[in-house]
Chains A and B, each alone.
Chain A
Amino acid sequence: MSTKHGPAEVSVTVEDSPGGTGRVLDHCDSINGLGLESITEKANPFGSTAEGNSTVGVTKSPDLTLGGLLTTTALVGTWTVLKQVAGDKAVNSVGRLVTIVAATGATWTGHYHLVKTEPVPVNDKLTRYTALFRPAEPFDGAWS
């Protein structure tokens, strides 16, 4: 029988500053941009009858977007952890280590630059946040 997985296994840990302390966010309900893409290039020459592609030996990951309720809980609140600090835009920043357990046995880790954290207040609703992360250089994203 196949082994399925659900949201109860998911957790998101983000350093509270570049090189800082990893904190498990106390609220995250959307994650977009996990994964690694192998860059390819169309490589079929004249005379071939089918289009083909070759890998170029370089991978890329998309921007990572986290979303959820904005909280100001000490240590693990989403605004507490994801509030931008000066180190996030420093030219030589090492970025923040992001660890996402997508499912038991499927953990994504990598260093990202926190590009922006946007509070999203909406009338008659709880205030949300959206945080945008961009792969750092050199990028070390990997599944384990």
Chain B
Amino acid sequence: MSTKHASPSVALFVDGYDLTPALVASISHANENLTEKTNGFGGGAEGHSPIGISRGTLAVGDGFFDKTVDPLHAAKIPDGGVGVSRVACVFEQGQVKGAHFAGYRGAYSQKSDVILTNPNGLTKANVAYVIDGEVDDGVIVQEAAPQTADWDTSAAPVDAADDPTARRIPITSSSVANPTHIVFDDPHGLVNGDVIAIFGHASVTPDINDSPAAAEAWKLIGHTVTVIDDDEITIPVNVSDGGTGGYAVLVSHAGGGQGYQQLLDGNTFTAFVGTLKHAVDGSTWEDLVTFADTGTADHDAQRVASATPTTQVRRYLAYFGNGTAFGTTNTVMAGFARGA
């Protein structure tokens, strides 16, 4: 059965403010890959090629305009107005750990149209944003929820293997060899050092799937890849009986990424530091992204990159929140967008 989504799952956080209640009609966002017509003389068909640049867009339609609280025109957001860089997160799959969201850095409000209706209608507004930089595809690690004391999500981390939208690379076979050769039906797109988890691979000894009955070294951790060619890799396992079928999911890649944190209610805090951590095995945690102390801010949003663009981002992600002077309504959302 397909997994659909609807308007109750939609949310928009901008600079630590939840603007969702102000959205009446629609919100649209996209990341357009720019192309150029490239067919030359002698060709029989017009064709295009990507130029390696993308353009992000974000627009809100028919949002409520209120001069006092004015979320779309920044009166609610101090020091706002056209031209101010913002950190925005758009959700359409709900506030659920593991769900995807679109993250923007530098969303400047560019064009806002106030819509004056008849005397019986509320005043609304359309706002279009210019995006500076990449649009990130992130995964929620800490869903927006009130917290009352220091906490962390390490007991139930986000596992990259559990993402239903992750690409599943079909496997043809595994060889009797040490290390074993994995052949795929299609180009795998993996690089040396990637870590994959294997599922549904049948009749193989030892069981190289992600959750074998035996306490294998790769259980719930995965296999490190060495690339042979576009369709074949090796993993460091001595296979004595080759298998067939199943698929592989990429769970760790040296591509760095971007951490997002939206402090939606920092009331009462005198200090708050959030940290995204990662782990190979879901138990030994290392810092991935540390957000700046938000101090006494009621609202705050940050987009922070991993240490380097080639940081090996591990399979499991968790969020750790440490604050001083918790109240009853302090609310934080955090997520991470893995790099390519």
Contacts and interface: CB of A to CB of B under 8 A. Distances in A.
Interface centre among B38, B39, B50 (most CB of A within 10 A): B50
B5 A126 contact: yes
A8 to B, nearest CB: 18
A135 B43 CA distance: 14
A54 interface: no
A124 B29 contact: no
Contacts of A127: 4-7, 9-10, 92
Contact of A59 (B26, B31, B44): B44
B165 to A, nearest CB: 4
Interface stretch (B174-182, B184-192, B209-217): B184-192
Contact of B186 (A21, A60, A88, A134): A21
Give the dominant DSSP class at A's interface: loop
B231 to A, nearest CB: 10
Interface string B34-45: 110111000111
A91 B50 contact: yes
B50 A89 contact: yes
A70 B91 CA distance: 13
A90 to B, nearest CB: 6
Interface string A74-95: 1111011001111111111100
B301 interface: no
B50 A72 contact: no
Contact of B31 (A58, A80, A116): A116
Contacts of B169: 20-21
B23 A113 contact: no
A26 B2 contact: yes
A71 interface: yes
B43 A138 contact: yes
Interface residues of A, number: 59
A30 B51 CA distance: 28
B284 interface: no
Contacts of A72: 3, 5, 93, 100, 164-165
A86 B9 CA distance: 27
Contact of A136 (B9, B48, B168): B48
A35 interface: no
B241 interface: no
A20 B185 CA distance: 9
Contacts of B37: 137
B52 A91 contact: yes
A121 interface: yes
B167 A16 contact: yes
A106 interface: no
Contacts of B100: 72, 79, 83
A38 B106 CA distance: 43
B116 interface: no
A134 B48 contact: yes
A113 B309 CA distance: 26
A116 to B, nearest CB: 4
Contacts of A6: none
B164 A59 contact: no
A125 B6 contact: yes
B122 to A, nearest CB: 14
Contacts of B167: 16-17, 20, 85
B47 A74 contact: no
B50 A123 contact: no
Contacts of B34: 89
Given A19-B187, A27-B2, A118 B39 contact: no
A58 B268 CA distance: 68
A49 B254 CA distance: 68
B186 A136 contact: no
Interface in B81-103: 92-93, 100, 102
A121 B187 contact: no
Contacts of B93: 72
Contacts of B9: 121, 127
Contacts of A86: 340
Contacts of A57: 44
A128 to B, nearest CB: 10
